[in-house]
Structure 1
Amino acid sequence: FPLESMKTLPLTLMGILSGPPCTDRFNAESSFCLRQFYLILGTETCSKYEIKNHLGQRVYFAMEENGCFDRNFCSPIRSFTIRITDNTGREVITVNRPLRCNSCWFPCYMQELEVQSPPGTIVGYVVQNWDPLLPKFTILNESKEDVLKIIGPYATCSCFGDVDFEVKTLNEMSTIGKISKYWSGFVNNVFTNAANFGIQVPVDLDVKIKAIMIGACFLIVSTQNQREKPSQAR
């Protein structure tokens, strides 16, 4: 667009042109709900999710891509690519997680993932931090500079209640948001692999960081499956 034309564009469209393609959805949002489509225990298929805004409207659809070997022999530490598309089918966020085998006693290869928006442009990373008691993660920007911390509780099994992972400042003194794993009922929790998560962050948080928070949610999903269902990893 010529410079004169850009001055007359709607603000939402100018945001799309100047920032990540998710800008129009993230700018005015402070909370999202991530719902995984139901998977029966004992089966390993590519996960699918829908991402809703605070009104319950679906704004994104996410689908995991990986190989059959990874799903059946490396789950839940498998590598994957998650492609997040809007309601028109346009891919707006790509989440890449490499295969990294790790042990709580030998934390040389802690889990991490990369977030791109638009696909091909890195906006940040999520890195798992070693801690003997608490699940901890760090949000990094595209320059791999620490931005925020995510700290979960000692007990992360959502037995009859929600589990909150607090989003904190780097000094861990202030809480600015949270990622919650929702309790979805006895039948769903016992007989399926499905997960329901919520993200709450300040409405004025950088849209790139909001996109990275979506990636953090996927990493928490996979690491919690590793903690709660170790027998499924073959």
Structure 2
Amino acid sequence: MDNQRPPEHPSYPGPKTGYPGPQAGYPRPQAGYPGPQAGYPVPPVGYSGAGPVGFPVQNQPMYQRLVIPTGVPLMPAPPPPLNYPPGLEYLSLIDQILIHQQIELLEVLTGFETNNKYEIKSSLGQKVYFAVEDTAFCTRSCCGASRPFTLRILDNLGQEVITMERPLRCSSCCFPCYLQEIEIQAPRGVPIGYVSQTWHPCLPKCTIQKEKREDMLKIAGSCVVYSCCSDVDFEIKSLDEETMVGRISRHWTGIVREAFTDANNFRIQWMLK
């Protein structure tokens, strides 16, 4: 009974024959191999090896470790247009902007002039820029609407893309040699143009100039700069004033807002790019 083999299981196929053995040229273990180090941590249950499935490889570049979720569309950046200062690329895609002045509650309650703030939007209501005035309290109180100011126009990231500087000048037709003027800088410190008031006994007229003081366009308005229940338009024309290339409109904002605030809404539309 001791020399008898145990009964085989019906499904046992029996020992395989013809095992090939080690392949020729199979490298043997190197001499002096230290073997597993003492205290080496045992891999956790379910560890499937290195790589994306198991532990992350720490020596990968950072851009390879980022995981971008699928199904999220990435908005492609538009190509920068030619002859546009940095930050003003969006103006090449639209033909008009809406300028809404914010109502300051402190100014309404006290009557003291505060720094004006404006939201600049597209015709679809999308916010494009934000403008804020930078003046001192004494300057606003003593000079009123004729005060010098610095107007900073910021993009949606808070970066200053346009700076407008207006010095202290006269606005009366009695002083034709010292009329209003504003300098446009983009970026800050780099003049790209000027808007200068042109003397006229009764009509508001201005000239748009290039960075080297070369006349470029004309702005002409009617003798009535304020109208009840209707808009006031200023036409932007060529130098010969024969072709209209744009329009600046001051919108009527309602009897309550016009009576209790000095906040204005404008629309600037250009027809040629």
Query: Given the two structures, how large is their TM-score scaled by the length of structure 1?
Result: 0.78
Per-residue CA deviations over 1:33-66 (Å, capped at 9, x if unaligned) read 0110114452210000010011111100000001
How many corresponding residue pairs? 194
> Using the alignment, how far apart are the partners of 2:190 and 2:77 within structure 1?
22
Structure 2 equivalent of residue 73 of structure 1:
142
Distance 1:55 1:14 in 2: 22
- Note the C-alpha offset of 1:106: 2.3
SS at match of 1:114: strand
Alpha-carbon distance, 1:13 to partner: 4.6
- Counterpart CA distance in 2 for 1:78 and 1:44 is 11
CA contact (8 A) 1:15 1:23 kept: no
Q: 1:144 aligns with which of 213, 227, 230?
A: 213
Q: How far 1:25 moved relative to its partner? A: 1.0
- Structural RMSD (CA): 1.7
Mapping of residues 176-195 of structure 1, within 5 Å: 176-195=245-264
Identity %: 47
Q: What is the one-letter code of the residue matched to 1:166?
A: E
Given candidates 136, 146, 156, the residue that maps to 1:87 is 156
Tell me how far 1:180 sits from its aligned partner: 0.1
Cα deviations across residues 203-233 of structure 1 (Å, max 9, x unaligned)? x52xxxxxxxxxxxxxxxxxxxxxxxxxxxx
For residue 122 of structure 1, the aligned residue among 178, 191, 200 is: 191
Structure 2 residue 70 is the aligned partner of structure 1 residue 12 = no
Question: Is this contact kept in 2: 1:158–1:181, CA < 8 A?
Answer: no
Please state how far the C-alpha of 1:133 moved relative to its aligned partner: 1.6
Q: 1 or 2, which has the higher strand percentage?
A: 1
Q: Distance in 2 between matches of 1:102 and 1:158?
A: 20
SS in structure 2 opposite 1:197? strand
**2:151 corresponds to which letter in structure 1?**
I
SS of structure 2 residue aligned to 1:76: helix
Shift of 1:102: 4.3
Distance in 2 between residues matched to 1:201 and 1:102, nearest whole Å = 26
Give a deviation string over 1:155-214, Cα, whole Å, max 9, x none: 111311000000111011121210000000000111101000000102x52xxxxxxxxx
2 CA distance for matches of 1:158 and 1:66?
29
DSSP-derived class of the 1:188 partner: helix
Residues 1-34 of structure 1 deviation map (CA, whole Å, 9 limit, x = unaligned): xxxxxxxxx7735438x63123321111110001
Task: Give unmatched runs, 5+ long, in structure 1.
Answer: 1-9, 206-234
What is the TM-score normalised by the length of structure 2?
A: 0.68
Contact 1:158 1:182 in 2 (8 A): no
1:164 aligns with 2:233: yes
Report 1 or 2 for greater relative contact order, CA contacts < 8 Å, sequence distance ≥ 6. Answer: 1
Provide the C-alpha distance between the structure 1 equivalents of 2:228 and 2:179, rounded to a whole number of angstroms.
26
SS class of match (2:139): helix
Larger Rg: 2
Letter in structure 1 aligned against 2:95: S
**Residue aligned with 1:72, SS:** helix
- Of the candidates 29, 43, 61, which is equivalent to residue 94 of structure 2? 29
Letter in 1 for 2:161: V
The one-letter amino acid paired with 2:167 is P
Q: Does 1:60 align with 2:129?
A: yes
